[in-house]
């Protein structure tokens, strides 16, 4: 009986043992990006920009050129690369502390300029690498190491909904939110990532895909509980959906 190979490592991923925690969805997000790069045939011209956070070493997993930015500055660094090498495909991969806290100015102005880059935004509502502190996206009442009694919004402010905010900016062509908590949503996430890269390939400007993600270690949950947390707690606060899809972007067939 002939055997059909139906699942293999994308060429855009390297053969590296993961350093991510069990149950973390970074691996899923990495794989989706890699599959999209493969399917679009753009691995050889891709330049990734890694953030500061758990995915600081994202470049160890991707089989293409990569740079490592200062905390929050990935969109500025990506801008510098894209402006002098417009022929390359440039994307950032950033977490919520990186993108929505320290890098708020850089991401917002990249959108304002309609910078022709793709942004993969991992929102897991917590700081992972530094050990579970409150993130700009930490939910109200959520306990973290720096909000031990729970996030008091009167004292610590409210969680920020990034793609909704960025969707208000004229330079943004594509701003959507997806989740990685089950296979159906993962498939939808991949389609969004594909579209976000197509936006860049069509020269249509700034594209961001927010991916609700899980951090079992710092949420102090089992992997499955962490996925439930995504579905039950995160999705209600961060509704999934398309917040901006410009007409030209809609016209791209994915």
Partner 1 sequence: MTKELMKGNEAFAEAAVRAGVEGFFGYPITPASEFLEYMAKRMPELGRAFLQAESEVAAINMVYGAACAGKRTLTATSSPGISLMSEGLSYIAGTEVPAVVVNVMRGGPGLGNIAPSQSDYNQMVKGGGHGDYFPIVLAPATVQEAIDYITLAFDLAEKYRSLVYIIVDGNLGQMMEPAELPPMRKLLEEPPEWSVYGAKDREPHILTSIYIDPPDEEVTNIRLLKRWMEVEKNEIRYKEYDLEDAEIAIISFGVAGRVALSAVRTAREEGIKVGLLRPITVAPFPKEAIAELSKRVRRILVVEMNTGQMLEDVKQAVAGRAPIEFYGRIGGITPLPDEILEEIRRVNQNSGEMVDGMEKVEWLERLEARIERGE
Q: Rounded to an integer, what distance in angstroms lies between the CA atom of residue 92 and that of residue 49?
A: 5
Q: Which is nearer to partner 1, 86 or 241 (CB)?
A: 86
CB atoms within 10 A of CB 253: 6
Task: Assess 221 for contact with partner 1 (CB under 8 A).
Answer: no
Could you give the 3-state DSSP secondary structure of residue 210? Answer: strand
Distances in Å between the Cα of 51 and the Cα atoms of 17, 72, 122, 163 are: 20, 7, 11, 18
Q: Could you say whether residue 234 binds partner 1 (CB under 8 A)? A: no
Of residues 6-45, which lie at the interface with partner 1 (CB under 8 A)? 43-45
SS3 203: coil
Binding pattern for the stretch 85-124 against partner 1, x by CB under 8 A and - elsewhere = x--x----------------xx-xx--xx-----------
Choice from 21, 27, 35, 66 touching partner 1 (CB under 8 A): 66
Contact 120, 51 (CB under 8 A): no
161: which 2 tokens?
């909904």
Interface pick for partner 1 out of 26, 30, 64, 190 (rule CB under 8 A): 64
Which of these segments, 56-64, 138-146, 189-197, 203-211, binds partner 1 (CB under 8 A)? 56-64
Residue 81 touches partner 1, criterion: CB under 8 A = yes
DSSP code at position 119: E
DSSP assignment, residue 20? S
Among 52-60, 141-149, 150-158, 216-224, the segment contacting partner 1 (CB under 8 A)? 52-60
Name the residue with tokens 């790069």. 37
Q: Which residues here bind partner 1, judged by CB under 8 A?
A: 43-47, 49-50, 56-57, 59, 62-70, 73, 76-85, 88, 105-106, 108-109, 112-113
């Amino acid at each position: 009986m002939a055997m059909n190979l139906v699942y293999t490592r994308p060429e855009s991923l390297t053969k590296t043992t993961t350093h991510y925690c069990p149950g973390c969805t970074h691996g899923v997000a990495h794989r989706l990006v890699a599959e999209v790069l493969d399917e679009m045939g753009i691995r050889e011209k891709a330049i990734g920009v890694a953030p500061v956070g758990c995915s600081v070493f994202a470049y160890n997993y991707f089989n293409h050129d990569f740079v490592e930015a200062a905390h929050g500055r990935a969109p500025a660094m990506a801008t510098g690369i894209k402006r002098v090498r417009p022929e390359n495909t440039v994307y950032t991969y950033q977490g919520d502390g990186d993108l929505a806290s320290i890098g708020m100015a850089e991401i917002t102005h990249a959108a304002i300029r309609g910078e022709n880059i793709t942004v993969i935004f991992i929102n897991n509502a917590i700081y992972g690498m530094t050990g579970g502190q409150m993130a700009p996206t930490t939910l109200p009442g959520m306990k973290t190491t720096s909000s031990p009694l729970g996030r008091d919004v009167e004292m610590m402010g409210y969680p920020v909904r990034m793609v909704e905010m960025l969707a208000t900016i004229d330079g943004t062509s594509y701003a959507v939110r997806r989740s990685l908590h089950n296979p159906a949503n993962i498939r939808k996430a991949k389609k969004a990532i594909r579209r976000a890269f197509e936006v860049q390939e069509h020269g249509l400007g700034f594209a961001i895909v927010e991916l609700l993600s899980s951090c079992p270690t710092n949420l102090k949950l089992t992997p499955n509980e962490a996925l439930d947390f995504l579905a039950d707690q995160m999705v209600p606060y961060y509704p999934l959906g398309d917040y901006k899809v410009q007409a030209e972007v809609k016209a791209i067939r994915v």
